[in-house]
């Protein structure tokens, strides 16, 4: 696949090929539960790190 095309006047067209666009689908209920669980673990991790930093200082 070529990204450059030399024209007769010597100008190069060096633009990348853009991918086709599509609409995202809404996540399934299983994915939503996984996202919620991941958010809960991330919140616990951040809260734990804040508490440790406050206890150390």
In sequence order, what DSSP letters do the residues of 1-57 get, joined into one string?
---EEE-TTS-EEEPPPPPPP-PPPPPPHHHHHHHHHHHHHHHHHHHHHHHHHHHH-
Give Cβ neighbours of residue 27 (< 8 Å, ≥ 6 apart): 35
The pTM for the full model equals 0.57
The reported pLDDT for the residue numbered 4 is 62
Distance CA 31, CA 13 (A): 42
| Residue range 17-52, pLDDT digits in tens | 788 999 999 999 999 999 999 999 999 999 999 999
The reported pLDDT for the residue numbered 6 is 65
Computed over its alpha carbons, how large is the radius of gyration of the chain?
25
């Amino acid at each position: 696949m070529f990204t450059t095309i030399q024209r007769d006047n010597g100008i190069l067209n060096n633009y990348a090929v853009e991918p086709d666009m599509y609409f995202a689908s809404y996540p399934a209920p299983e994915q939503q539960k996984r996202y919620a669980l991941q958010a809960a673990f991330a919140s616990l991790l951040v809260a734990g790190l804040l508490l440790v930093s406050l206890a150390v200082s």
